[in-house]
């Protein structure tokens, strides 16, 4: 990179370079990373196509592109990811929030509006960066009857979640390091809603994950031999922590909905139902205690 590089010539170099190295969205990746280096919005790049870059900017961009080429997710390089129209800090300690998880948030909002409009306790298991519980707390921030708790087994994830709570000014959300319900006392914790996007990749699939997914914490992905370990544990234990009429709402992996419904049925839940995502995959499964 010795000639004078402009925004446009740099993007035209970086996008095919990332494409050759396996990115499925090379131009977008390059634009997001260049916008980070130039501290501007992605669309502002289009107004600055002819702007020459300083050598320090070039060096920063090249470093990011090399990391991206090695499979580091763009969200980790940017340090943030948008979810439910809110900006979440992310690091390699947490799973990068996925757009399909917004269906879980939507289903949870509908359930709360219908069953507990004036408030109840809400628990998010395996909260990661806190995206689900913080999106819900944000949605209901004008109502005082709710309490919000995010649980994760990994304190490093909870540090990211607590940081997000501060930045989103949602400090009413509490955090607890616990292996699912293990550190919760049932008598003082009855929830109206338990929500979870648990690890659901099968052990066999774990080895074949795309390189960028392999950069994410295995603990957030690995659902055991058939991918359903966490659904069984949560469905069983949640009965002791849900109010009568309280809901358990899961995100499930592709093709897992029928099995998860069976797990809910065998644990005695009623009103078991599923919701489809935009790719017509049955993505959310719920039951009532």
246 is an interface residue for ligand GLN by CB under 6 A: no
* CA pair distance 151, 133, nearest whole angstrom: 10
CA angle 160, 162, 165 (to 5 degrees): 115
Taking the least distance from each CB to ligand GLN, the nearer of 120 and 132 is 132
* CA pair distance 157, 61, nearest whole angstrom: 28
Distances (CA, A) of 58 to 16, 65, 110, 254: 17, 10, 47, 41
- Is residue 201 within 8 Å of residue 229, measured between CB atoms? no
126 is an interface residue for ligand GLN by CB under 6 A: yes
253 is an interface residue for ligand GLN by CB under 6 A: no
* CA pair distance 100, 107, nearest whole angstrom: 12
Size of the site for ligand GLN (CB under 6 A): 12
* Residues of span 225-244 touching ligand GLN by CB under 6 A: none
Stretch that binds ligand GLN, among 94-102, 115-123, 179-187, 202-210 (CB under 6 A): 94-102
Taking the least distance from each CB to ligand GLN, the nearer of 61 and 250 is 250
Pairing state between β 147-152 and 173-177: parallel
Taking the least distance from each CB to ligand GLN, the nearer of 5 and 250 is 250
127 is an interface residue for ligand GLN by CB under 6 A: yes
* Residues of span 184-213 touching ligand GLN by CB under 6 A: 197-199
Q: Contact residues for ligand GLN (CB under 6 A)?
A: 95, 97, 101, 126-128, 131-132, 197-199, 220
């Amino acid at each position: 990179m010795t000639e004078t590089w402009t925004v446009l010539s740099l993007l035209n170099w970086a996008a095919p370079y990332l494409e050759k190295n396996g990115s499925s969205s090379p131009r977008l990746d390059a634009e997001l990373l260049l916008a980070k280096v130039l501290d501007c919005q992605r669309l502002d790049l289009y107004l600055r196509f002819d702007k020459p870059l300083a050598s320090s900017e070039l060096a920063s961009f090249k470093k990011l592109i090399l990391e991206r080429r090695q499979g580091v997710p763009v969200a980790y390089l940017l340090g943030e990811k948008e979810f439910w129209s809110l900006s979440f800090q992310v690091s390699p300690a947490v799973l990068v929030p996925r757009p399909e998880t917004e269906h879980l948030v939507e289903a949870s909002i509908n359930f709360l509006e219908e069953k507990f409009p004036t408030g109840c306790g809400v628990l998010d298991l395996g909260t990661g960066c806190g995206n689900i519980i913080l999106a819900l707390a944000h949605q209901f921030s004008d109502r005082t009857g709710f309490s919000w708790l995010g649980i994760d087994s990994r304190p490093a994830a909870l540090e990211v979640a607590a940081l997000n709570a501060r930045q989103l000014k949602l400090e009413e959300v509490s955090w607890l390091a616990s292996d699912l319900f293990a550190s919760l006392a049932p008598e003082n914790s009855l929830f109206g809603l338990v929500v979870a996007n648990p690890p659901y990749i099968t052990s066999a699939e774990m080895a074949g994950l795309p390189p960028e997914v392999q950069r994410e914490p295995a603990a957030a992905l690995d659902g055991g031999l058939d991918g359903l370990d966490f659904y069984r544990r949560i469905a069983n234990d949640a009965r002791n922590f849900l109010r009568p009429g309280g809901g358990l709402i899961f995100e499930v992996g592709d093709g897992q909905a029928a099995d998860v419904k069976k797990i809910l049925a065998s644990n005695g839940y009623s009103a078991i139902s599923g919701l489809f995502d935009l790719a017509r995959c049955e993505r959310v499964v719920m039951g009532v205690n």
